[in-house]
C-alpha cells in the first residue's frame, strides 16, 4: 500500500508559467489586457473557433451566453441532470426553467431522443454537457436545435481538447464554454473561455464587463478612450492578464498533458479489463474524448460493498477518489422546487449510485498508476461475492 496520499487531480504548473506571471506582475497590465487578448487568439486557433472570449470561469461563459442569446423569464432550457450544479444554476439565474432529461447509459451524456421529447413551445435553448470529456451526439442535438429554432450552448468544461467526428469541440458558431479550473485538463487557476461566432461574442463581451460598450476594457491604454456607455446591466466576468499568463503556457503544453492522460487511461483499461465487477468508461468510435475523468461503475450484485464504502477504502489505501456527479434532481433546491424524485431520471440516478472517479492527471507517475490499479483490484478481490 502507498505510504503517501495520492491527490485526485492536482494542477501541473511549470517554470514557464511562473516566469510569465512574474513578467505580468512587473508590467503595466495585471487585469484584462494584452495577454488576455493573446490568450483568446491562441485558444481560438487551437480549437479552430470563429472567436473566443476569456472569462473568469466556465460558469460565467454559460451565464453570459444565455444572456447574449436573450434567454430569460418564461423560457425553458433543456439540459442534463448528470452535471455539476453550475450548468443548471445559470438557467435559474436568467429566470428561465431548466428542463432535465435523462442520459445515455454508456456515455452518460444527454439522450437526443429524450431531448426531442422535452422540447415544447417555451423551449429556447439546449445546454449540452460533454460529460467527463466525451462529446455528446452533436449531430443529433444540433439538428434538433436547428429544426426547432433553438440555441445550442455546449458546456465544454470537461471537453478540452475533445473532438467529434474530427472537429474540435468549440469550433462551431454556437456558444461553447470551457473551464480552466485547477482540476481541469489545463488551468489558469480560475478561468474560462467562451467560443462562438464573432457576432455572438461581441454581445457577450458587453454582457461580461458591466454592460459597457465594446472595447471599454482598454480605456486606460495609451490608445484607449475614457468614454464608455453602459448598454445593459452587465456582470464582472473578465479574465485577468495574470490568469492569461498561465493559460498561454498551459495551452502550449496541452498536447503533452493529453498524451499522458491517454497513457494513464490505457493502463487503467488494461488493469481493470478482466474484472467483471467493474464497468469501464467508453469512447465511441466517432469521437476523441478529452478524458477529463476516468469514471468506474460498480456492476450491481458483484460486490459485497457499495460505492461509498469503495471510495472510503481507496482513501484508506491513500488513493484520492471522487464522485462526478450528484445528479441535479437530488439536490434540495431543485428537488424541492420542481418536486423531483430520484427515479425521475433512472439512468442518471442508477449510475450515480455506483460510480466513482479515479485519479487522472498528467502528474501521475507509472508508480502512481500502478498503486491505483493495485488498490482497486485489492478492494474488488476482497469484497467479491
Q: Mark residue 170 as left, alpha or beta (left: phi above 0; alpha: psi -120 to 50; beta: remaining).
A: left
| Per-residue pLDDT at 91 | 99
Residue range 200-223: mean pLDDT, rounded: 81
The domain locations on the chain are: 15-251, 254-383
Backbone angles phi, psi at 258, to 5 degrees: -70, -35
Query: Which tens digits make up the pLDDT trace of 314-358?
Result: 999 999 999 999 999 999 999 999 999 999 999 999 999 999 999
Would you say residue 218 has pLDDT above 70?
no
Mean pLDDT of the chain, nearest integer: 97
Residues near 127 by beta carbon (within 8 Å), at least 6 away in sequence: 62, 77, 78, 79, 80, 87, 88, 91, 153, 154, 155
- Active site (catalytic) residues: 184
Would you say residue 224 has pLDDT above 90?
no
| Per-residue pLDDT at 215 | 61
Confidence of residue 308 (pLDDT cuts 50, 70, 90): very high
Of residues 109, 62, 101, the one with CA closest to residue 287: 109
| Per-residue pLDDT at 220 | 59
| Per-residue pLDDT at 227 | 85
What share of the chain in percent tops pLDDT 90?
Answer: 95
Give the integer Cα–Cα distance in Å for 152 and 77.
10
Would you say residue 237 has pLDDT above 90?
yes
Whether the full predicted model's pTM is greater than 0.95, yes or no, is yes
Query: Which tens digits make up the pLDDT trace of 113-122?
Result: 999 999 999 9
Architecture of the 254-383 domain: Alpha-Beta Complex (3.90)
| Per-residue pLDDT at 228 | 86
Q: What is the CATH code for 15-251?
A: 3.40.640.10
| Per-residue pLDDT at 226 | 80
Give the integer Cα–Cα distance in Å for 327 and 349.
7
Q: Give the 3-state secondary structure of 15-30.
A: HHHHHHHHHHHCCCCC
Query: Which tens digits make up the pLDDT trace of 361-374?
Result: 999 999 999 999 99
Query: Which tens digits make up the pLDDT trace of 168-211?
Result: 999 999 999 999 999 999 999 999 999 999 999 999 999 999 99
Residue range 19-34: mean pLDDT, rounded: 96
| Per-residue pLDDT at 81 | 98
Would you say residue 217 has pLDDT above 90?
no
Confidence of residue 312 (pLDDT cuts 50, 70, 90): very high
Rg (CA), the chain: 21
| Per-residue pLDDT at 225 | 75
Amino acid at each position: 500500500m502507498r505510504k503517501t496520499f495520492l491527490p485526485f487531480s492536482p494542477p501541473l504548473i511549470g517554470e514557464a508559467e511562473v516566469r510569465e506571471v512574474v513578467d505580468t506582475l512587473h508590467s503595466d497590465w495585471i487585469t484584462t489586457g494584452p495577454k488576455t487578448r493573446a490568450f483568446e487568439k491562441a485558444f481560438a486557433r487551437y480549437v479552430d473557433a470563429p472567436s473566443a472570449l476569456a472569462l473568469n470561469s466556465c460558469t460565467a461563459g454559460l451565464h453570459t451566453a444565455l444572456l447574449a442569446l436573450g434567454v430569460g423569464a418564461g423560457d425553458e432550457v433543456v439540459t442534463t441532470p448528470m452535471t455539476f450544479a453550475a450548468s443548471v444554476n445559470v438557467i435559474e439565474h436568467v429566470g428561465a426553467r431548466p428542463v432535465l432529461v435523462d442520459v445515455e447509459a454508456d456515455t452518460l451524456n444527454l439522450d437526443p431522443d429524450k431531448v426531442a421529447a422535452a422540447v415544447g413551445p417555451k423551449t429556447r435553448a439546449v445546454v449540452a454537457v460533454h460529460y467527463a470529456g466525451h462529446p455528446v451526439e452533436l449531430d443529433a442535438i444540433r439538428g434538433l436545435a436547428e429544426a426547432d429554432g433553438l440555441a445550442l450552448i455546449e458546456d465544454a468544461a470537461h471537453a478540452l481538447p475533445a473532438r467529434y467526428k474530427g472537429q474540435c469541440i468549440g469550433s462551431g458558431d454556437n456558444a461553447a464554454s470551457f473551464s480552466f479550473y485547477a482540476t481541469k485538463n489545463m488551468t489558469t487557476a480560475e478561468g474560462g473561455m467562451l467560443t462562438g461566432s464573432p457576432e455572438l461574442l461581441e454581445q457577450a463581451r458587453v454582457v461580461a464587463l458591466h454592460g459597457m460598450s465594446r472595447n471599454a476594457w482598454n480605456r486606460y491604454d495609451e490608445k484607449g478612450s475614457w468614454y464608455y456607455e453602459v448598454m445593459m446591466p452587465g456582470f464582472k466576468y473578465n479574465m485577468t492578464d495574470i490568469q492569461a499568463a498561465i493559460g498561454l503556457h498551459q495551452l502550449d503544453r496541452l498536447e503533452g498533458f493529453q498524451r499522458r492522460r491517454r497513457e494513464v487511461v490505457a493502463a487503467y483499461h488494461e488493469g481493470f479489463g478482466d474484472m467483471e465487477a467493474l464497468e469501464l468508461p467508453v469512447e465511441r468510435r466517432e469521437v476523441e474524448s478529452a478524458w477529463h475523468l476516468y469514471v468506474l461503475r460498480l456492476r450491481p450484485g458483484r460486490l459485497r460493498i457499495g460505492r461509498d464504502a469503495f471510495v472510503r477504502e481507496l482513501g484508506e489505501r491513500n488513493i484520492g477518489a471522487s464522485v462526478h456527479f450528484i445528479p441535479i434532481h437530488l439536490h434540495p433546491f431543485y428537488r424541492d422546487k420542481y418536486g423531483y424524485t430520484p427515479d425521475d431520471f433512472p439512468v442518471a440516478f442508477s449510475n450515480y449510485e455506483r460510480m466513482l472517479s479515479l485519479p487522472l492527471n498528467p502528474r501521475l507517475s507509472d508508480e502512481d498508476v500502478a498503486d491505483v490499479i493495485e488498490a482497486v483490484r485489492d478492494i474488488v478481490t476482497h469484497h467479491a461475492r
